[in-house]
């Protein structure tokens, strides 16, 4: 199995491009439209689910959005010393006989900058889940962890909080047994 990494790059003029790295090769996965003046979150497709290299459309999210209850397909990338997260808004799927689980709502991949003091919460400590999950009443993790550990856990759905400038201030991973 090949490892796929994605990176968001800010291009002068307000464009945001996402590159996909597969076993050392680079290909352009998508490019956003220019962002409007004022504080807003730029958005570009990062290729969707792991293993996919096709890009979707780009979109801009207004800065007045303060939470995304279900974000899926989370991916992180470093950008000029800061970090970005890409995600797709999701919804609950209860169509199967199993427990409801989050899935993509079919919209574009969105990209937002992480605040320097972003709080990352997981159901587990460290990079590898080893103990019983620690959850709140919404099924969100409550254990503070580092960005490196959060990325290593490969959390595929979460709740995301934004500040008034559109930066991500908190991400709490959803527990999915």
Close Cβ partners of 40 (under 8 Å, ≥ 6 residues apart): 60, 61, 62, 63, 166
Nearest to 7 by CA among 115, 118, 83: 83
Kindly report, residue by residue over 32-88, the tens digit of the pLDDT.
Answer: 322 222 333 443 333 333 333 333 333 444 445 689 999 999 999 999 989 999 999
**pTM of the full structure:** 0.64
Q: Give the Å distances, CA to CA, from 73 to 80, 119, 151.
A: 23, 19, 12
């Amino acid at each position: 199995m090949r490892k796929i990494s994605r990176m968001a790059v800010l291009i002068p003029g307000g464009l945001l491009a996402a590159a996909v790295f597969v076993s050392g090769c680079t290909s352009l996965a998508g490019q956003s439209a220019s962002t409007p003046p004022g504080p807003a979150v730029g958005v570009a497709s990062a290729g969707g689910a792991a293993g996919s290299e096709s890009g979707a459309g780009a979109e801009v999210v207004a800065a007045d959005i303060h939470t995304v209850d279900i974000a899926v397909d989370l991916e992180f990338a470093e950008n000029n010393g800061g970090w970005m997260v890409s995600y797709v808004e999701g919804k609950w799927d209860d169509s199967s006989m199993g427990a409801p689980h989050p899935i993509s709502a079919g919209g574009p991949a969105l990209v937002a900058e992480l605040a320097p003091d972003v709080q990352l919460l997981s159901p587990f400590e460290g990079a590898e889940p080893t103990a019983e999950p620690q959850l709140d009443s919404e099924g969100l993790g409550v254990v503070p962890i580092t960005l490196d550990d959060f990325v290593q856990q490969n959390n595929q759905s979460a709740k995301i909080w934004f500040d008034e400038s559109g930066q991500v201030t908190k991400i709490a991973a959803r527990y999915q047994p």
